[in-house]
Copies of this chain bind each other. A is one copy, B any other.
Amino acid sequence: MKKLLSIKGIKLAACESGIRYPNKKDLAIIELSPESHISAAFTQNTACAAPVEIARSHHSNASTRLLIINSGNANAGTGRQGMEDAISYCKKASELFAFKVEQVLPFSTGVIGEILPVERISSSFKQLKDSLHEDNWQNVAEAIMTTDTKPKGISKEMTINGGESITITGIAKGAGMIQPNMATMLAFIATDISVNKDDLNKLLKTNINESFNRITVDGETSTNDACVLISTSGSGHKFSDLNKQDKENFCYLLREIFVYLAQSIVRDGEGATKFITVEVQGAQSKEQADTVAYSIANSPLVKTAFFAQDPNWGRILSAAGKTQCDMGSLKMYICDICVYDSSTSNTYNESTLQELMLKTDVTIRLDLGCGKDGTRIWTTDLSYDYIKINAEYRN
């Protein structure tokens, strides 16, 4: 990971609070300047965690000043106790910082169904406050990791008005229980340009749909997904004042950051050895394209074939067909080689294809030939290590 650039208006801190494992950073805070705006999206899983419910409610009732994020325990499936715990440490933090409790948002990720060690969290706030610094993005990226093998983050700078500079930095975590639905795993993206609430909400929604909502590792929508976009205005510039070209550039860079972070989650997917792009074209609707793409991306038979570096397109065909889409004019490509064309016989070179399958990045493309809509999503293969990681998770 390249060095993450600081965002004027944001200070961060992380520490080892001993939530689950010793010698593991597991608690972080992000303090926002009073001028900051945030937009946030949360999981649509109805078994959502206590911190999700509280963050959602606090966010809609006050201007956010502090994010508290812990790993190692999801505080999900913990009932009333979980709600009381999350509120209790938000309150502790709000007192220390002299904020209203609604200005504090809690985020958790980790094992489901265990009571949070609230004391360990609350007693770490003083230490965290004392170590707040603009330059702590990397530490926070590490603190929010669970089964992730590496921290995920990226920064982009651009010049506006032909000289002055604005910055965007984003971090994310996630490796398993990944098929975000209208939200994402934990991701925090911030810019020092001032963006008004409406624009910020639009930017979040659009970008999530083209990034975090286009990935799947195992088809599992987490109880704790959350994505936060922060605008601090620390650069002294306003999004609404940008000229057309600068605005386009900013949106392009922001999109790049969302997509990069979403793809980083897939690349670090539990046990993943392949990064698979699934494209569906020629569909009757966006929904049909998505249904077919996810049916392929979540197919354990397709995933195990790709783990074996075997271009077993019969399984892709079957995974598409089980959605009951029209397959009369189907064409299928693996790594841009046409492996199936419903109108002619197969003539591709198996050994060329076998060689392309050895790469880490591979693509599956289907042209359903029955419409004009399409989609593109990203996924992983399914390996022994996925089983290992998830069979041993609580042991």
A44 at the interface (CB under 8 A from B): yes
Q: Given A312-B113, A318-B76, A327 and B47 touching (CB < 8 A)?
A: yes
State which residues 48-93 of A face B: CB under 8 Å: 48, 74, 76-77, 79, 81
**Segment at the B interface, from A204-212, A214-222, A245-253, A259-267:** A214-222
A276 to chain B, nearest CB (A): 15
By a CB distance below 8 angstroms, the chain B residues around A351 are none
A56 to chain B, nearest CB (A): 15
By a CB distance below 8 angstroms, the chain B residues around A391 are 304-305, 307-308, 310
**Segment at the B interface, from A9-17, A20-28, A32-40, A380-388:** A380-388
CB pair B47 A320 closer than 8 Å: yes
Closest to A341 in B: B79
A residues contacting the other copy or chain, number (CB 8 A): 66
CB pair A220 B319 closer than 8 Å: yes
What's the Cα separation between A181 and B322 when bound, in Å? 8
Of B312, B317, B395, the residue contacting A47 (CB under 8 A) is B317
A176 at the interface (CB under 8 A from B): yes
CB pair B308 A392 closer than 8 Å: yes
Instruction: Pick from A81, A114, A319, A392 the residue with the most CB of B within 10 Å.
Output: A319
Closest to A218 in B: B300
13 additional A-B pairs beyond A76-B317, A79-B342, beta carbons within 8 Å, are A46-B326, A47-B320, A47-B321, A74-B314, A112-B317, A113-B313, A113-B314, A220-B300, A221-B321, A223-B317, A301-B390, A304-B386, A386-B387
